[in-house]
């Protein structure tokens, strides 16, 4: 079934086909938010594995059994969001993000792959604006040419038939 034709689902994420990124991005955002707003916040703010600092100030990752309740909840929100993203892509996109442990990192890698970085997005917007301006210029030129041609036809008519005659 065509991904654009599928209805919304609260249990199945939208599928990124490779050609529908902007559609997928919007639908996936709402899918994750519908699971849990905190899961979406994890996509926006990121998540890092909890660390413990010893007496010397050296940080080491905590073992999962030593995580606080708050750290467990944060990890769970990240897992929900990352799972939704993993299940909403095909094998080609999975290759891009398979090593990601953080939903934010996966989201940003897909965004860069499909939209480019900030400067690429700005270039695309400038290109669209230029195209639109160019189309507008072309339309104005055609309009002016038609107006000029119409004026010349009227001038010819008036010169043959006098100013008081009505054209055509």
Query: Is the pLDDT score of 3 beyond 50?
Result: no
Query: Is the pLDDT score of 117 beyond 50?
Result: yes
User: b/e for 21-44, b at 16 or more Cβ within 10 A?
Assistant: beebbebbeebbeebeebbbbbbe
How confident is the model over 86-108, as a mean pLDDT?
A: 95
How confident is the model over 90-115, as a mean pLDDT?
A: 94
The string of pLDDT tens digits covering residues 34-59 is 999 999 999 999 999 999 999 999 99
3-7, 69-73, 116-120, 149-153: which range is least confident on average? 3-7
Backbone angles phi, psi at 89, to 5 degrees: -135, 160
**What distance in Å separates the CA atoms of residue 64 and residue 62, rounded to the nearest whole number?**
6
Whose structure tokens read 């249990």?
A: 11
Higher pLDDT among residues 54 and 18, named by residue: 54
Q: How confident is the model at residue 148 (pLDDT cuts 50, 70, 90)?
A: confident
Domain positions in the chain: 21-115, 116-168
- The Cβ of residue 135 has, within 10 Å, a number of other Cβ atoms equal to 10
Higher pLDDT among residues 70 and 156, named by residue: 70
* pLDDT at residue 32, as a whole number: 97
């Amino acid at each position: 079934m065509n991904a654009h034709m599928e209805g919304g689902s609260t249990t199945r994420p939208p599928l990124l086909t490779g050609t529908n990124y902007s559609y997928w991005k919007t639908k996936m955002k709402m899918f994750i938010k519908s699971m849990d707003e905190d899961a979406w916040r994890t996509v926006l703010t990121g998540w890092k594995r909890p660390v413990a600092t010893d007496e010397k100030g050296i940080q080491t990752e905590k073992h999962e059994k030593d995580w606080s309740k708050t750290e467990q909840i944060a990890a769970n929100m990240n897992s929900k969001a990352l799972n939704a993203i993993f299940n909403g892509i095909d094998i080609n996109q999975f290759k891009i993000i398979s090593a990601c442990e953080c939903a934010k990192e996966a989201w940003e890698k897909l965004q860069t792959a499909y939209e480019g970085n900030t400067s690429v997005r700005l270039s695309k917007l400038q290109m669209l604006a230029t195209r639109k301006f160019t189309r507008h210029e072309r339309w104005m030129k055609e309009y002016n040419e038609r107006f000029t041609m119409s004026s010349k036809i009227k001038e010819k008519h008036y010169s043959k038939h006098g100013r008081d005659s009505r054209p055509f």
